[in-house]
Amino acid sequence: MPERQLWHRRGTAHLADTLGMTAGAEQARAAAEAAARQSYGRLVAYVASRTRDVAGAEDALADAFAAALARWPQTGVPDHPEAWLLTVARRRSIDQQRRRMTGEAGQAHLRLIGEELEQEMAREKFPDDRLGLIFACAHPAIEAGVRAPLILQTVLGFDAATIASAFLVSPSTMSQRLVRAKSRIKQAGVPFRIPETAELGERLAAVLEAIYAAFSEGWADASGAESRHRNLASEAIWLGRLVVQLMPGEPEALGLLSLMLHAEARRPARRNGEGAFVPLSEQDTLSWDASLLAEADALLVRAGAFGTIDRYQIEGAIQSAHAARRFAGTTDWAAIATLYAGLMTISTSPVVAVNHAVAVAYAGEPVEGLAMLDAIGDARLDQYQPYWAARAELLSLLGMSEEADKAYALAIGLETDHAVRAFLKRKRADLDGR
């Protein structure tokens, strides 16, 4: 893995020694943690795909992974991280036998794979089975809502409590759901491989959906104050990169990564110096991450070369059109409205319909836009803050301040993020000036 070599070259121990508790040390710690997660995920995937026993694979490696998370930031990433983890895992399991009964399955797994794996590692042909593991986690036999958490746990080694807090459910509920899903994988014989071509489209869609769900959970926290959310978004990007690296010929995966990078590039601009919410149209384009945006656009070009179209590519293109404001100075709303019209033909989401109506209004047709909002008629929108905020905005564009005021009131009532609520309150107060 090129990334790992890079981390190794940086010499995490050296950095930690000379810089102490500085940003450099923090970077070294993050790099060591990422390396530990990489190796852990590869080992879990290797073991689980041969035994179908995800929980057993996790058990076998849990202590070694914890040791790596604690030690590598100080000592640097070892030359053969997987071999290091495996050695520690085997030693720990012997220690544990003396102290307490450890998972029998875990030990059996370690015995089972030990020699075979060592041979493969010696030949440096240690296979990367993570994609197979990801496909198992996102299998249609697994409840849709638990797929993203399951991928985060098995591939990246996050504990149930961390995942639970990111997905806003109680740790015990999340833990139960994860345990149930893993036993289902084992008992029902869910395969650990990239599906046949005939099924690949639908299955890959489930994988991408899970990654996107993780990203959206992370993105939802506009303030960025809660680091668990920010981490979730970057882990989703990491998974998106992994899928693109392992399946470079899938335009949907390229489109999703592009979409996530576009959003991520604008993260720093979502708040001003005082921590107040800044809407996309008012963001300072200089605070966008130019290199992420360039990478996102390049991915979109790569995806486009396949000559197919899908929701991620279109959503990526919409993001790209917004980002183009950094060159053009203005937003091409007509182009964005056209892209949303295209998205409408392959998506039945009322959220897409709301965005389409707004784009049409901003493209110079506010009456048409408002009529389109009225025409959506989806009961779910009654409790959807952006719908009421959009409605308020279009009503105020048309000078219908009284109705706009009512719509803002509803939007404010539905919003939970206080910075966004403050922003909506300011917009509402501005109505009086008209």
Interacting residue ranges for another protein, rule: CB under 8 A: 139, 141, 187-191, 195-196, 199
Residue type, 130: R
User: CB of 90: closest distance to another protein in angstroms?
Assistant: 28
Residue among 155, 250, 263 at smallest CA distance from 212: 263
User: CB of 49: closest distance to another protein in angstroms?
Assistant: 11
User: CB of 192: closest distance to another protein in angstroms?
Assistant: 9
- Residue written as token pair 């959310």: 229
Residues 6 or more apart whose Cβ sits within 8 Å of residue 84: 39, 68, 78
Residue type, 155: V
As given in the structure block, the two tokens for residue 75 are 């000592």
Q: Closer to another protein by CB, 203 or 421: give it.
A: 203
Q: Closer to another protein by CB, 183 or 281: give it.
A: 183
User: CB of 138: closest distance to another protein in angstroms?
Assistant: 13
Phi, psi of 309 (to 5 degrees): -130, 140
Residue type, 8: H
User: CB of 52: closest distance to another protein in angstroms?
Assistant: 8
As given in the structure block, the two tokens for residue 267 are 């993260």
Q: Closer to another protein by CB, 53 or 221: give it.
A: 53
Contact 250, 200 (CB under 8 A): no
Q: Closer to another protein by CB, 131 or 390: give it.
A: 131
Q: Closer to another protein by CB, 141 or 298: give it.
A: 141
Q: What is the DSSP letter of 178?
A: H
Contact 236, 284 (CB under 8 A): no
Residue type, 36: A
Q: Closer to another protein by CB, 79 or 196: give it.
A: 196
- Residue written as token pair 């084992």: 186
User: CB of 134: closest distance to another protein in angstroms?
Assistant: 15
User: CB of 142: closest distance to another protein in angstroms?
Assistant: 10
* CA pair distance 77, 109, nearest whole angstrom: 25
List the Cα angle 106/109/114 in 5-degree steps. Answer: 125
Q: Closer to another protein by CB, 134 or 419: give it.
A: 134
Three-class DSSP category at 74 = helix
Q: Closer to another protein by CB, 17 or 199: give it.
A: 199
User: CB of 370: closest distance to another protein in angstroms?
Assistant: 45
- Residue written as token pair 């493209």: 363
Q: Closer to another protein by CB, 132 or 218: give it.
A: 132
User: CB of 190: closest distance to another protein in angstroms?
Assistant: 5
User: CB of 251: closest distance to another protein in angstroms?
Assistant: 24
Residue 271: strand pairing partners: 277
Q: Where are the beta strands (DSSP E) in 17-154?
A: none
Residue type, 282: E
Q: Closer to another protein by CB, 95 or 199: give it.
A: 199
- The CA radius of gyration of the chain, in Å to the nearest whole number, is 24
Residues in the chain: 434
* CA pair distance 228, 235, nearest whole angstrom: 10
